[in-house]
Every structure is written in C-alpha cells, then in structure tokens.
Amino acid sequence: MRTAAAIVERAEKLMRKAMGGNDASHDAWHVLRVRDLALSIAREEGLSSSPDSMLVVELAALLHDIGDYKYSRDPSEERLVENFLEEENIDEAMKTKILKIIKGMGFKEELQRHESVGIFPEFGVVQDADRLDAIGAIGIARCFTFGGRRNRVLHDPAILPRLELSKEQYMKNMEQTTVNHFHEKLLKLKDLMKTEGGKRRAEKRHKFMAEYLEEFYKEWNGEA
C-alpha cells in the first residue's frame, strides 16, 4: 500500500476527474469542503489518535459523490471507487468501512431505514460533514443551484412539500419546487446529526436557513 498522503492525492485526482462536469452544487469544491469538515469533526471526536480512522474519513469524504445517481448515467461509474481502493491495496477492513460510509450515508438511505443502523464513528463523521454542507449559507446556494439545473420553479404555493417520504419518492423529486426541498430534507438534517461537532455546527446553520426562508416568504407575499 502507498503512503497515506500518496493515496489521498490520487483519490483527489480521481474525484476531480469524475466530477468535472457537475454543476456547482455537487462539484469538487463541495467535496473538498466536506473533506475539511470531516477531518475537523474527526479530530474533535478523538479519531486523530488512529491514522487508519483518519484515512478512512478522508478517503470516504473525497470519494463519496463519485457515481452519484443524480448525475451519473454510466453504470460503470459505480465501480470506480471500489476499483480505486483495490488498486491502492487498501486494507480489507478499511475498504469495507469506506464503502459502507459511501453507500449508506445518503439521506435517501436513512429514509429507507427509518433509523441509524450499524453506525460507526467514521460513518457519523463523514455523514455529518456532508449534511453540514447542505445547510446554512452554502446549503442555500447549493439548493438553488441544483434547482436551477433541474429547471425547477423557485416556489409555488399550490405545490405542498411532502413531509413523509419513501426512498423511491425522494429519488423521483422532479415535480417539486426548490423551496419545498428545504422542508422535505434540509430542515430535517439538524436533528439527524450523529456527532457532537456536527450537532453544534448544525444549530447555527439551521437557524440561518430558517431565517432565510422566513424572509423569502415575506418577500414572496409582498410583506417585506
């Protein structure tokens, strides 16, 4: 196995290549922010005493959006991460953790489970980091960027948010408005954080997002 630094460098290179055509809501900058947040939370959670844990966190964060169903139309992209880990001769236990994080951390997966199953420290760290980037000021910007890419309307009072969703319903989200995505997912993320660092950061970001929506509705209705 190569040095951790060399593996991370190659993982970042793979990520940049695989995600090069994505819009700004799910681009390389998103992944790098998630990586930095994940490493910061991991240190707060006491994982820095284990080099293996920190490498799992960093690789899972860097590789988590490769082959994302929202962008990928090529089934072979689903194998890119597994192939990379095999080529880098990643230890089997570490490989298993990385793949479990990537395959299980999505919001749609938690909708299916209705509970946190098999969560280990590195999982919670990376999942919280990814969710933190979906809320707050950057989360708002990402939400509208993605909505614009899908040609969604900003808001339509006649289209109500779906507050109870299955995994299948969430994935078939084309008919929804951008603002409804806040109610269907983003405003729920604060209460789904797994780590203390994630919970603390989420409080501020959630508050900012809620205040933004309050102002949005006032302006929409001509009250501000």
Please tell me the total count of domains within the chain: 1
User: Per-residue pLDDT for 108 more than 80?
Assistant: no
Distances (CA, A) of 171 to 81, 109, 126, 153, 204: 22, 11, 21, 18, 28
pLDDT digits (tens, 9 = 90+) for 80-89: 999 999 999 9
Question: Range of 22's domain?
Answer: 4-220
What pLDDT, in 10s, does the model give residues 59-72? 999 999 998 877 76
pLDDT at position 109 over 90: no
Q: Do 35 and 58 contact (CB within 8 A), yes or no?
A: yes
- At 164, is the pLDDT very low, low, confident or very high (cuts 50, 70, 90)? confident
CB 89 within 8 A of CB 154: no
Instruction: Yes or no: say if 70 and 147 are a contact pair by the CB < 8 Å rule.
Output: no
Instruction: Read off the pTM.
Output: 0.92
CATH of the domain at 113: 1.10.3210.50
